[in-house]
Amino acid sequence: MIVEICSVVIAACALFVSVFTAYIQKKHDRISIMPICFIVEKCHEGNLAVLIRNLGLGAMTIDKALMTRGEEVHGNLIEMMPKVKQKWEGFSLEIEGRTILPTQEIVLIAINPRSESIRQAVKDALTGVEVSISFHDVYGKEYHKEKRLGGWGIFEKDFGYVAK
């Protein structure tokens, strides 16, 4: 009788451990392929760029992308830029519905200004723009990321290192 009770208790404990382990494994699997959205402002050697980069291990699909400055709202960044007399290095018109794989990126805008006036005009147009990205992972879990552009001041100084 005691042996039978012990075997039932041990079987119940084993079942509990199995169910709990499956729950933890499922949670781990979801977290391990979670996308991490990073909105990047680049200002290096005169080049200016704004990118959406996926630093996570899972794909991210963009559901909604909004660029706002005051009352002005657009679905991309290039429509907010001034007219310049040179070609853009890259830009994206359609952002919503695109999937960014791990370590990949979407170029919102990129330019290598030929003059300081073009560089300043683009920087002025970007300053204060709020980039808002809503996206989901492969499991359908939704995320949101926002960033206000314009942290250019920290990039203007010489870091004391020059490549040779």
128 DSSP assignment: T
The full length of the chain comes to 164
Q: Which stretches of the chain are assigned E, i.e. beta strand?
A: 37-44, 47-54, 60-69, 72-74, 90-91, 99-100, 105-111, 130-136, 142-148
Between CA 19 and CA 147 the distance in angstroms is: 41
Between CA 7 and CA 149 the distance in angstroms is: 64
Q: How many domains does the chain have?
A: 2
Question: What 3-state DSSP class applies to 112?
Answer: coil
Query: Is 6 found in the same domain as 62?
Result: no
User: pLDDT 10s per residue in the chain (164 long)?
Assistant: 888 899 999 999 999 999 999 999 988 887 888 899 999 888 877 788 999 999 999 999 999 999 999 899 999 999 999 998 889 999 999 999 999 999 999 999 999 988 888 888 888 888 889 999 999 999 899 999 999 998 665 444 444 444 44
The pLDDT assigned to 153 comes to 52
The pLDDT assigned to 152 comes to 62
Query: Is 66 found in the same domain as 24?
Result: no
Domain limits for position 114: 35-155
Between CA 115 and CA 152 the distance in angstroms is: 17
Question: What pTM was computed for the model?
Answer: 0.76
The amino acid that residue 144 corresponds to is: H
Can you name the residues that pair with 41 across neighbouring β-strands?
50
The pLDDT assigned to 159 comes to 47
Residue 164 lies in a domain: no
The pLDDT assigned to 115 comes to 87
Distances (CA, A) of 30 to 26, 121, 138, 153, 160: 6, 43, 9, 38, 43
Query: Is 119 found in the same domain as 42?
Result: yes
Query: Is 112 found in the same domain as 78?
Result: yes
Count of other CB atoms within 10 angstroms of residue 112? 15
